[in-house]
Amino acid sequence: MADLFDMPNQPDSGPRPLADRLRPKSLSEVIGQEKILSRDGPLGAMLAAGSLSSLVLWGPPGVGKTTIARLLATETDLHFVQISAIFTGVPELRKVFESAKLRRQNGKGTLLFVDEIHRFNKAQQDGFLPHMEDGTILLVGATTENPSFELNAALLSRAQVIVLERLSLTDLERLAQRAEQELGRALPLKGEAREAMLEMADGDGRALLNLIEQVAAWKVEGTLTRDQLSQRLMRRAAKYDKSGDEHYNLISALHKSVRGSDSDAALYWFARMLEGGEDPRFLARRITRMAVEDIGLADPQAEAICLDGWQTYERLGSPEGELALAQAVVYLALAPKSNAVYTAYKAARVAARETGSLMPPKHILNAPTKMMKEQGYGSGYAYDHDAEDGFSGQNYFPEGMKRPVWYLPPERGFERELKKRVEYFAKLRGKRHEG
């Protein structure tokens, strides 16, 4: 029984985009996803066992999510229904489920492919659960966003997440060769221009086929160079979502490159984020955090350079002010690294939570009233400036609390000097207590 979402078979009489004409007809023809489709891969193993479960296909655009879902339906003899979370509301979903129930009664299962499944809200995602559990549908969702952030735990517990990789340059070249076979002619590009075109696709197979279709339509004499190609084609904008995975992945890469003292890698990820449209103020805030978290007192100047760079950007704006932030990134990457204060701070916070009601020792409390003096407030306080070496060595922790050692400066950068001071005062403190 046909329904609203079933596509009737129609002759392919009209023009079809190259990407559609080259759509694989079997899973063995899919390029770039051998890791998951091989016999030892998760999908290959499921098909070999004849037991396909509900899936979430997670990967960037143009890597074959829709194609794989369609072919899985063919391989398992399931009726394929495709919807998009962008255009489908509750009434349409209800019709899809009702049609799937009718098919099931007639002995035919349904593979429901939901593109951009992360666009559905929590209530809509929950609506799939009973139909998945009773076998009305086998759900295959596709998403470009991290499922652990965007999908309900209940839905994820009933589906296996399959990660699809962006296409490599080798994969894209294979796809280009397949396209040339379909077109019946080679592309009019020199080797360097061909490489540039593959790079422009940025791991997206569909984007590459669209580029090839444009190039194939040109009427040119001879072959084009890289510069000639660049004049005719705009480079595809870098995939970057300031609120999505790329945002968090790239700032993580920047932070770890700085921590790893690789100035070139740090500059690269910094530039990648700027090219993607990231707010330089966000970057200014994050590199300042890096200064206090990963460099700390090993180079006290690092924080000041970040703040100066931040202020310079605020005064100059883009693009001039971005250079000041780039200078700060390089300085941080090459600065000596220490998280000694950060570690000591976290330990102190833990101790503060555990001993939060302990009073300071009475000798370091002020006694503004007579009663407080009578209670011993301020009694026995040693004024450090009057002590030998300007250091009394008194105890400043709560009475009964064992003195901890949290700050352990390493032998790096300025903290070499601080280490000497810590050891000096520890030695003096020991002498004062012995006396």
The residues of the chain that CATH labels 1.20.272.10 are 245-334
The residues of the chain that CATH labels 1.10.8 are 169-232
Do residues 19 and 209 lie in contact, with contact meaning Cβ atoms separated by under 8 Å? yes
Domain at 18-163, CATH class: alpha beta
Domain at 169-232, CATH class: mainly alpha
Q: What is the mean pLDDT of the chain?
A: 89
Write out the DSSP string of 404-425: P------SSTTHHHHHHHHHHH
Give the predicted TM-score (pTM) of the model.
Answer: 0.67
**pLDDT higher than threshold 50 for residue 77:** yes
**pLDDT higher than threshold 90 for residue 179:** yes
The better pLDDT of the pair 10, 400 is held by 400
pLDDT value of residue 74: 93
Q: Which two tokens stand for residue 112?
A: 């429901």
Secondary structure element (H or E) that encloses residue 139, with its range: strand 138-143
pLDDT value of residue 4: 45
Q: How confident is the model at residue 286 (pLDDT cuts 50, 70, 90)?
A: very high
Rounded average pLDDT over 250-262: 94
Per-residue b/e over 336-369, b at no fewer than 16 CB within 10 Å?
A: bbbbbbeebbeeeeeeeeeeeeeeebbbeeebee
What's the start-to-end Cα distance of the chain, in Å? 97
3-state secondary structure of 138: strand
pLDDT in tens, 139-153: 999 998 889 888 999
The percent of residues above 70 in pLDDT, for the chain, comes to: 94
Among the listed residues 136, 128, 137, the one whose alpha carbon sits nearest the alpha carbon of residue 156:
128
pLDDT value of residue 313: 94
pLDDT value of residue 237: 53
pLDDT value of residue 1: 39
pLDDT value of residue 13: 59
Rounded average pLDDT over 183-195: 93
pLDDT in tens, 314-333: 999 988 999 999 999 999 99
pLDDT in tens, 402-435: 889 999 999 999 999 999 999 999 998 888 877 5
Angle (nearest 5°) at CA 274 between 273 and 276: 65
**pLDDT higher than threshold 70 for residue 87:** yes
Among the listed residues 334, 323, 263, the one whose alpha carbon sits nearest the alpha carbon of residue 295:
334
In the block, residue with structure tokens 């002498």: 431
pLDDT in tens, 356-366: 788 888 888 88
Neighbours of 29 (CB within 10 A): 12
CATH topology of domain 245-334: Zinc Finger, Delta Prime; domain 3 (1.20.272)
Per-residue b/e over 379-406, b at no fewer than 16 CB within 10 Å?
A: eebeeeeeeeeebbbbeeeeeeeeeeee
The better pLDDT of the pair 231, 238 is held by 231
The residues of the chain that CATH labels 3.40.50.300 are 18-163
pLDDT value of residue 104: 92
